[in-house]
Amino acid sequence: MKLSRSVWVYAGLGVVLMVLPTVLKGQFAQRIRTARPSVTMGTYTIGQNVLQWQTGMRWQDLHTDQLDHDIFLYRNTLRWGFLEHWELSGVINYQQDRDASLQHRALQHGIKTVRLGLRHNLFEKAGFLKAAAIQGRLWLPFTQNDYQQKQLGGRVMASVSYRLLGQLQLITNGGWKWTGQVASKAIPFFSLRFSHPLSHQLSLVVDYFSDFHPFELDYAIGIGYFISPAWKLDVAVGSLGESLTNHRYLEIGWATRIDWR
């Protein structure tokens, strides 16, 4: 698997930033920190001696004149803060695909994704520039009946958060990913997440995101609700790809944590 020079440069920059001495505040927050229901990854780690579980169920459909394609996706992310500003994460996603046309019907189901990630928070401070992080995930190879990841893939990215007008906040993601398929090239991508609290317990989130090759702007809008300091519920709707009417999804999820601080 060959990676472009830009990927190695980006990865090297990430390593340099990780080891730079930075004055940091504590990462553990009174309320659970999670970017859900956003597609955009956050800038904070969860804090040392914290274990956090994030999960969600997505219903997605794509309808054309020739094909109806329905997807059910069950996402699971487990995050462990082994240091105050470092965390490990594991991802296992289950997927079910149903295809129906005039001549054919098909069903696939099983584990679709197995990933292992690392995140390092670089800083957290007051002002316009709030926080930043470097993070990456490996897409681990696996094989089963309906889905498989033949070779190692991955993603490396930077995440930066900003305080805009009032309580409006912005998080930007940018980086490269590679699928691990034969002769695959690194694909640059970006995402933008705008969030605003509607009340102490309720928050509004809007996402814009896309790969650069091809560039097909996707969007999502969601609501997050804090049940308690350790529990959060969320719901989001979104549209993927060029057609804003035929390729859409609904996702419902929750997150919780335990700590032994």
pLDDT tens for 137-170 read 999 999 887 898 888 999 999 999 999 999 999 9
Rounded mean pLDDT, 49-66: 88
Predicted pLDDT of residue 227: 97
Predicted pLDDT of residue 2: 47
Question: pLDDT over 90 for what percent of the chain?
Answer: 65
Contact 256, 53 (CB under 8 A): yes
Strand-pairing partners, residue 67, are none
Share the mean pLDDT of the chain: 87
Predicted pLDDT of residue 182: 63
- Out of 55-59, 62-66, 138-142, which region has the weakest mean confidence (pLDDT)? 62-66
- Out of 13-22, 144-153, 232-241, which region has the weakest mean confidence (pLDDT)? 13-22
Query: Which residue, among 258, 210, 192, 188, has the nearest Cα to 7 in the 3D structure?
Result: 188
Predicted pLDDT of residue 246: 61
What distance in Å separates the CA atoms of residue 127 and residue 82, rounded to the nearest whole number?
A: 28
Predicted pLDDT of residue 26: 63
- Please say if the pLDDT value at position 214 is more than 90: no
SS (H, E, C) 112-149: EEEEEEEEEEEEECCCCEEEEEEEEEEECCEECCCCEE
Rounded mean pLDDT, 237-259: 83
Q: Which domains are present in the chain?
A: 5-259 (2.40.160.40)
| Higher-pLDDT residue of 11, 259 | 259
pTM of the model: 0.85
Rounded mean pLDDT, 12-23: 46
Predicted pLDDT of residue 213: 80
